[in-house]
Chains A and B, each alone.
Chain A
Amino acid sequence: MSTRAVILRVAALLLLLVFVTAPQLFAFAFAPLTANDAPAIYNQGSLLALTLSHLRIVALATLASTILAVALGIFVTRPAGREFLPLSRSLVNIGQTFPPIAVLAIAVPLVGFGDKPTFIALFLYGLLPIFENTLAGLSEVSPRTLEAAKGMGMNARQRLWQVELPLALPVMLAGIRLSVIISLGTATIGSTVAAKGLGEVIIAGLQSNNVAFILQGGLVVALLAILINDGLGLAERVAARRLGRPMGGLA
């Protein structure tokens, strides 16, 4: 990353932090967008609290889907789970044609309004990219490497923990990053089912026809997603570098 890119990201992060902690400082910038003396800055709750609960639900859901997806990915690549491999591949393909909003909407009648349907949608939809990349990462490990590990006297468990998983880690991290980014967006829509999150700001703006709310909500969510994507991309590159193979991605 060039110095300019680093400075740009640090500046964006600082801007985001200042905005969510003291949004009133920016009232002058949003005031021209309002009409009839409507408030220029979201006033129905603290932006900081909304940001934190937005991040909390994404983090919890991603943690849960990572655990299950990685476990499933390991299972179907072991001899005991091979019979499930072809089906699980096509299920991932089919599952990704489901729009996240559909998962969210279908979860509401089952568990009611609030954080729960959002968590379920984030969890279920988050499984797919992580599972797909765990499969890809584990099946990319060359049979010769595994043979060598076997030759060194490693048992199946040691091969998994010391050879396969470390080699698959960068690809798995890419799946987790994708899952987090999708989740950040779905969590925003989650505000339509009364989950606490930054979508509230945008939806309040849409309901009261206040463009200032819509814009600031949109900007905070966008900046958050871009910075988190960059941060996780950095983690992938670090993991790849540890393996001594530089990875060129679209990060």
Chain B
Amino acid sequence: MSDEEDDIILSELDDEELVQQMFDDLYDGLKEEIEEGVNILLGRGWAPYDVLTKALVGGMTIVGKDFRDGILFVPEVLLAANAMKGGMAILKPLLAETGAPRVGKMVIGTVKGDIHDIGKNLVSMMMEGAGFEVVDLGINNPVENYLEALENEKPDILGMSALLTTTMPYMKVVIDTLVEQGLRDDYIVLVGGAPLNEEFGKAIGADAYCRDAAVAVETAKTLVGRKHNQGATA
């Protein structure tokens, strides 16, 4: 950043300028600036949900797009995610208090034998930002963990992640178990991870393969909307 930009005083910007500046700060992974921006908008009477969607999610969407286009890379995305996390930490309790719209619920976890969670964590965060309640099971989940969480949490969506060619077939174990137990149609199953592709998603019986966090959010919104419509007309 230039010296001129360093001199920007966030509190002196009007709302529109501040949101634009927060997009830039998120892009640059500036956590403290994002936290300050969130507090300023809240102080000006913004609803927590508006701060989340208009400033943070709006900014992360740009980050996600540039990651997909090869302009940004993993370290920059992680820094941006860390900055967004700072903002989310302020907003989360307020969102719970103010009864922000709830789009749906997702249980998500990295599959058995796999400890990689960068992508999964990004999906969790973006899903929360989009108004989903997310129950994150963490890493190395055997099928029992998924089944238990599905029973306890009753989510709309089950999300599974894997980074390794050796662990991605485990997603089929989970889906096959759901089929055996007659539970498969109760959930939207989304899968993702670097070595996966659409063909694999179809082959294992998932509802969709999501290539990145932004696609996961859009897919989740579409499929949950469709599911609710089906429920309404059934």
- Are the chains A and B members of one assembly? no
Q: Residues of A with Cβ closer than 8 Å to B?
A: none
